[in-house]
């Protein structure tokens, strides 16, 4: 039987792993995550290690932070939450790194002692990304992510501004992937509730 102290230790390890993953896979990354880029082997190895660490935490009773009434409470890391965290790591490598944002000011914020990406910065980098030929297959996914983020910002009351009216951007997209937009809307909302994005 695991003691509270043991569970607490694994919870701290999970939080530390997430903080380091965000730092390596997003905050300090300089290039697109593509096999021809120089940092790809290092990032790929780091991704595998972070995923392995998160996978190992489920059976050890680790708990993950969930926003509740302006604070964080900790809930058991079940399979759904674990899979969401792992997909978050993939998401960090899918989107452009912070240097691709043209927004002035900080692209990150500190939540629950972790330096996390800002939603507005992610949106800015995705909307303004100039696609190289090798990354053009990600364009539709970027469009889905953009619309998902803009819908979340529209629904929120945190005073984040949109670069253009949502209707104008959606109007310019002839074929929207409705299921992909729904998927990213749900996932990003969950990551925000976990304190992984501001």
DSSP string, the chain: ---HHHHHHHHHHHHHHHHHHHIIIIIT--S-S-TTSTTHHHHHHHHHHHHHHHHHHGGGT-EEEEEETTEEEEEE--HHHHHHHHHHHHHHHHSPPGGG---SS-SEEEETTEEEE-HHHHHHHHHT----GGGGGGHHHHHHHHHHHHHHHHH--S-PPPSS-HHHHHHH-SS--HHHHHHHHHHHHHHHHTTS--
Q: pLDDT per position in the chain (198 positions), as tens?
A: 456 658 789 999 999 999 999 999 999 999 999 998 889 999 999 999 999 999 999 999 999 999 888 889 999 999 999 999 999 999 999 999 988 877 667 888 999 899 999 998 999 889 888 888 888 899 899 989 998 998 898 887 655 555 555 555 556 655 578 899 999 999 999 999 999 999
Q: Give a yes or no: residue 15 inside a domain.
A: yes
pLDDT of residue 7: 78
Full domain range(s) for residue 48: 7-194
pTM of the prediction? 0.89
Q: Give a yes or no: residue 2 inside a domain.
A: no
Contact, 181 vs 140, CB < 8 A?
Answer: no
pLDDT of residue 96: 93
pLDDT of residue 40: 95
pLDDT of residue 20: 97
- Token pair in block for residue 119: 């939603």
Q: Give a yes or no: residue 110 inside a domain.
A: yes
pLDDT of residue 75: 94
Q: Give a yes or no: residue 1 inside a domain.
A: no
Q: Give a yes or no: residue 57 inside a domain.
A: yes
Q: Give a yes or no: residue 12 inside a domain.
A: yes
The angle subtended at Cα 153 by Cα 148 and Cα 159, nearest 5°, is: 165
pLDDT of residue 135: 86
What's the total number of domains in the chain? 1
pLDDT of residue 169: 59
pLDDT of residue 16: 95
pLDDT of residue 106: 82
């Amino acid at each position: 039987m695991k003691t509270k102290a043991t569970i607490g230790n694994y919870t701290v390890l999970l939080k530390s792993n997430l903080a380091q993953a965000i730092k390596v896979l997003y905050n300090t990354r300089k290039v697109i995550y593509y096999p021809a880029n120089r940092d790809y082997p290092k990032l790929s190895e780091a991704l595998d290690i972070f995923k392995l660490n998160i996978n190992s935490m489920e059976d050890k009773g680790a708990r993950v932070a969930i926003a509740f009434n302006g604070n964080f409470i900790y809930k058991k890391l079940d399979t759904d939450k674990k899979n969401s965290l792992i997909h978050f790591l993939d998401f960090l490598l899918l989107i452009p790194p912070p240097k691709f944002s043209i927004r002035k000011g900080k692209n990150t914020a500190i939540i629950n002692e972790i330096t996390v990406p800002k939603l507005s910065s992610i949106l800015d980098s995705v909307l303004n990304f100039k696609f190289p030929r090798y990354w053009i297959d990600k364009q539709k996914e970027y469009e889905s992510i953009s619309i998902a983020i803009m819908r979340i910002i529209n629904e929120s009351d945190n005073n984040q501004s949109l670069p253009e009216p949502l209707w104008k951007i959606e109007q310019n997209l002839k074929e929207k992937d409705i299921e992909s937009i729904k998927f990213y809307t749900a996932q990003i909302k969950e990551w925000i509730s976990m304190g992984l994005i501001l």
